Amino acid sequence: MVLTRSSKELYEEYVRYMRKIADIKNALAVLQWDQETYLPAKGAAARGQQIATLSETSHEWLVSARLGALLNDLNDRNDLGPEEKRNVTLSLEDYTKQKKFSPEFVRLLSETTSRCWHAWIKSRQVNSFALFGDDLAKLVELKRQEADLAGYAGHPYDALLDEFERACTVSLLDRVFDEVRQPLKELLDRIAASPEIVDNSFLHQHYPRQQQWEFGMGLIRQMGFDLQAGRQDLSEHPFTTSFSRNDVRITTRIDENDLGHMTWSCIHEAGHALYEQGLPEAYYGLPLGEYASLSIHESQSRLWENNVGRSHAWWQYQYPLLQKTFPGQLSKVSLEQFYRGINKVGPSLIRTEADEVSYHFHVMIRYELEKRLIEGSMPVHELPGYWNEQYAQYLGVRVTDDKHGCLQDVHWSHGSFGYFPTYSLGSFYAAQLYAVAEKEERGLPEAVLRGDTSLLLGWLRGHIHQYGRQYNSEELCQRATGETLNIQHFLAYLLDKYNNIYKI
């Protein structure tokens, strides 16, 4: 006869088990971080195997019958506290979702993705989508199966969105993008028609590596990034990763002929990092210790990068410091010129280089494409044609080649369908959060003028960071701002800024 175990004992076993999984996942993240920063070239093959083993192990533990039994048992208990209950509910949701996929399907998906990524690398080398198409088609087919296995109420794409953005749907995204499409297009057209000349050539002088690094470190320190609980290194592509809230790593890249790249990548990644450093420590390894969603994560990076980091107010304090660092390059560029230059708008081919207005057309084009691929209304080989046509229609640019077209992003080769929309949602949430924070938090705008963003960070900690995965994006937004996503905040922010800069 087995004695019934108390809820407390069960819950503690659940916590121990989840923390072991978190340890493996975080070890995996350390190996990936090292891979992007310090790994010697010949170490790549063994590292790939080590990463695969850790990944398999954490997955096996996450879908184990033992965890399932524990979660189902806990889910039936009535004597858990509200946070305990919430952790169990979220873990059971994760578990149930994972169990919908057989080990064979998971392996097939992983192998196909790996092949697809290698095909993408190759196709970029020869600059032709053709080499990538067949593998991508196979991957799309699997993602369609994945949607069927996961299940959905409305559109099959909803099932894929769910991985990045709980409770987000095609119907929500269609509504939001429908609301912004026309106003953004009109704004772009008015900017194009404006006689104002905005010059950012000063960003493309020679800026020595070491001074750039030191200025960037100053920026992230000033933002409140805790260097006792994280660090910055260099990598090919900037990213943020976290091994615990007390060890959050960001990276940047320095281009000596482009001051902008380092500057806004530091601010962007530090924005992500401040969120990770603000997650509740007590919930290490548990859902309440995790970030809410990708769009909320991105709202944090973009709020700092754009709403703060491209604002006139913030640079009133920072710009003299920048001029002092680079007197030869900037002493004759006024704050006004600098502010206008860093906000220059102009359609381009590459998403990651886009300004704040045209950016969202890059996302909308990808979103429409993904929907079609996943619902099966467009075959993969039509992708480049559709892509080029949309870029011509929305941005008025001619795609010169696939590398500057539909091969530019890694996401699809990773099987990440449903990821791109979270970038735009991030900008939209950011504008709403910042508008409310500025209004609600007494003295915040004045503090920013002095370079002091501690009030802002405090507001974000109190309204967003501390909740972990307690609420989904829309619930968090509602609690923090009194309403769910309201696109008017974003539009008002853009119109205010660009009407002023382009005098329209």
Residues recognised as catalytic: 269
Q: Is 26 in the site for a second copy (CB under 8 A)?
A: yes
In 337-426, the DSSP E strands lie at: none
Binds a second copy (CB under 8 A): choice among 117, 243, 361, 367: 243
Q: Is 58 in the site for a second copy (CB under 8 A)?
A: no
Among 7, 11, 14, 24, binds a second copy (CB under 8 A): 24
β-strand partners of 247: 244
Cα–Cα dist 90/82, whole Å: 12
Q: Which of 233, 249, 244 is nearest to 278 (CA)?
A: 244
| CB nearer a second copy, residue 28 or residue 435 | 28
Contact call for residue 236 and a second copy (CB under 8 A): no
- Residue 31: CB minimum distance to a second copy, A: 6
Decide: residue 377, CB within 10 A, 0-12 exposed, 13-18 middle, 19+ buried: exposed
Residue with tokens 């200025």: 215
E strand or H helix that includes residue 426: helix 420-440
Quote the CA–CA distance of 447 and 436 in Å, as a whole number.
Answer: 16
Confirm or reject binding of residue 233 to a second copy (CB under 8 A).
yes
Show the tokens assigned to 138.
């196979």
Rounded distance between C-alpha atoms, residue 418 and residue 328, angstroms: 45
Sole binder of a second copy in the list 5, 46, 75, 214 (CB under 8 A):
46
Tell me whether residue 287 or residue 418 sits nearer to a second copy (CB atom).
Answer: 287
**Of the residues 115, 138, 181, 231, which one makes contact with a second copy according to CB under 8 A:** 231
Does 235 engage in binding with a second copy (CB under 8 A)? no
Under rule CB under 8 A, residue 50 binds a second copy: yes
Stretch of residues binding a second copy (CB under 8 A), selected from 5-13, 46-54, 348-356, 367-375: 46-54
CB 251 → a second copy: shortest distance, Å? 12
Q: Backbone phi, then psi, for 233, in 5-degree steps?
A: -135, 180
Residue of 494, 360, 493 lying closest to 435 (CA atoms)? 493
At 258, give phi and psi (nearest 5°): -150, 100
Q: CA angle 433-86-88, nearest 5°?
A: 140
**Residue 40 binding a second copy, by CB under 8 A:** yes
Shortest Å, Cβ 466 to a second copy: 18
Distances 95 to 16, 148, 287, 418, 432 between C-alpha atoms, Å: 16, 17, 12, 21, 33
Residue from 41, 65, 153, 193 touching a second copy (CB under 8 A): that is 41
363, 298 Cβ separation under 8 angstroms: no
Binding span for a second copy by CB under 8 A among 83-91, 242-250, 352-360, 365-373: 242-250
Tell me whether residue 55 or residue 127 sits nearer to a second copy (CB atom). 55
- How far apart, in Å, do the first and last CA atoms of the chain sit? 80
Site string for a second copy, 272-311 (x = CB under 8 A): ------------x---------------------------
Q: With binding defined as CB under 8 A, does residue 113 bind a second copy? A: no
Is the Cβ of residue 48 or residue 151 nearer to a second copy in the bound state? 48
Is 244 among the residues that bind a second copy (CB under 8 A)?
yes
Q: Given the rule CB under 8 A, which residues bind a second copy? A: 19-20, 23-24, 26-28, 30-31, 34, 38-43, 45-47, 49-50, 52-54, 57, 226-231, 233, 243-244, 246-247, 284
